[in-house]
Structure 1
Amino acid sequence: MADNGQELAQTQRAHWQQTYGAHPHMYGRRPSSAAVHAAAVFRAAGAGDVLELGAGHGRDALYFAQEGFTVQATDFSPLGLEQLRDAARSQGIAGRVTTTVHDVREPLSLPDSSVDAVFAHMLLCMALSTKEIHALVNEVRRVLRPGGVLVYTVRHTGDAHYGAGPDHGDDIFEHGGFAVHFFPRELVESLADGWTLDEVHAFEEGELPRRLWRVTQSLPRG
């Protein structure tokens, strides 16, 4: 039986706040492999600015800024973004990074066609319903300029944790306090409707290991 979505969202927000407080560098200081790939894709597309959704404490946002992009970093954890800003100042790149506390269940506070590229590592597979994921991708499409690129990663239904742990419905299962929406391939395909689906790349990351897809999709230029 599915949980109340708002209750689950509040629980997850509190859990992430606590986690960032206890483990400020839980993912390390090096960028994810997905961010390294995305930077090359964004550069090839001529992007100058990047919106990162679910930036956390900022290892990927900081990498994009170091690579010369202007970065708008969003997350629903104020503590994570505070850590990101502190790191940007210490690295001398604060002028290329802005942060905004934002819950992706809400519309983005950005104008239409105002962003070159969007990056989201493991954000779309958080405790979001399928309906909320579609709404988020529609928001990304709204704020991207023509020719803009979205790169995102998600855990998929081939992952060892899929179907295990407390079941919140809608392919959402919980492990260690973290709720994950595992993606079937059909969901990836449906999120690319009206886009050009440039790549769906399967890869593994971290312990277990986690099994993910890295998805690259772009908007028509004209």
Structure 2
Amino acid sequence: MADEQELAEAQRRHWQDTYTAHPAMYGEQPSAPAVHAASVFREAGARTVLELGTGHGRDALYFAREDFNVQATDFSATGLEQLREAARMQGVDARITTAVHDVRDSLPWPDASVDAVFAHMLLCMALSTEEIRAAVGEIRRVLRPGGTLVYTVRHTGDAHYGTGTAHGDDIYEHGGYAVHFFDRALVDALAEGWTVSDVHAFEEGELPRRLWRITQTVPR
């Protein structure tokens, strides 16, 4: 437990320092998974989107420009400050609210109060399998019946899997950035009790990173 807490705090410092040193480090264009998610959410009639691990907010801003009301969370206050400033500049600040939140903690929203949840590479951060299961349980709790979760994770086919500093539980660290690499068994376990419509393999970035994009819905 102490080792997990130390790793979590190190990752918090890493991201706070990274966003401070490199504002808008991921650029201004939305990620491909966010574009997919917006289409899925719109088709399902969603109006509110909860984004977990929003970073500096490129995807939250996109959702707001697409007329969703966005609740954006991250454990980096610096990233959220950058998001709020960008939202004001783009004229979408009325559709975005922010909250500093660690995904290891319970979500501060009531049961069945959110239409849709989006999380791009959040669940594959330095989280134990137990913490990931708890986080997905919280996501299900706050989603309405028929609500949809779209999330992405790096998987065990990624070039960095099994290399770098090993922290156990399929977590490996490179350059200060720790990743929990998912195998398909974990994806399937997290989908128990949900309706899964899509597990899509894709690549992103320079390595390139190899990821899955999972789309699953709370049954009505």
Q: TM-score, normalised by structure 1?
A: 0.98
Residue 79 of structure 2 corresponds to which residue in structure 1?
Answer: 80
Determine helix, strand or coil for the equivalent of 1:29: coil
Maintained 8 Å contact 1:3/1:168: no
Distance between the aligned counterparts of 2:34 and 2:174, measured in 1? 25
Which residue number corresponds to residue 163 of structure 1? 162
Distance 1:4 1:196 in 2: 35
| Aligned-partner Cα distance in 2 for 1:126–1:139 | 17
Which blocks of at least 5 consecutive residues in structure 1 are unaligned? none
1:185 aligns with 2:192: no
1:105 matched residue in structure 2: 104
Q: Are residue 199 (structure 1) and residue 198 (structure 2) matched?
A: yes
Residue equivalent to 1:92: 91
CA positional deviation for 1:3 = 7.2
Counting matched residue pairs gives 220
- Counterpart of 2:185 in structure 1: which amino acid? E
Alpha-carbon distance in structure 1 between the residues aligned to 2:31 and 2:127:
22
Q: How does 1:1-222 map to 2 (within 5 A)?
A: 4-221=3-220
Deviation string 1:8-46 (CA, Å, 9 cap, x unpaired) is: 000000000000001011101000000000000000110
Residues 43-97 of structure 1 show CA distances to partners (whole Å, capped at 9, x for unaligned) of 0110000000000000000000000000000000000000000000000000000
| Shift >6 Å, 4+ stretches | none
Contact persistence 1:104–1:136 (CA under 8 A): yes
Shift of 1:148: 0.2
In 2, the alpha carbon distance for the partners of 1:145 and 1:44 equals: 15
Identity %: 74
Post-superposition Cα deviations, 1:132-188, rounded to whole Å, max 9, x if no partner, equal 000000000000000000000000000000000000000000011000000000000
Contact preservation (8 Å) 1:128, 1:181 = yes
Corresponding letter in the other structure for 1:142:
R
Distance 1:152 1:82 in 2: 23
3-state DSSP of counterpart to 1:4 = helix
- For 1:24 and 1:161, locate their aligned partners in 2 and report how far apart those are by CA, in whole Å: 25
Deviations 1:190-212 (A, max 9, x none): 00000001110000000110000
In 2, are the aligned partners of 1:120 and 1:153 still within 8 Å (CA)? yes
C-alpha separation between the residues in 1 aligned to 2:73 and 2:113? Answer: 15
Gaps of 5+ in 2: none
Q: Which amino acid aligns with 1:153?
A: T
SS of alignment partner, residue 25 of structure 1? coil
TM-score (norm 2): 0.99
CA distance in 2, matches of 1:215, 1:207: 22
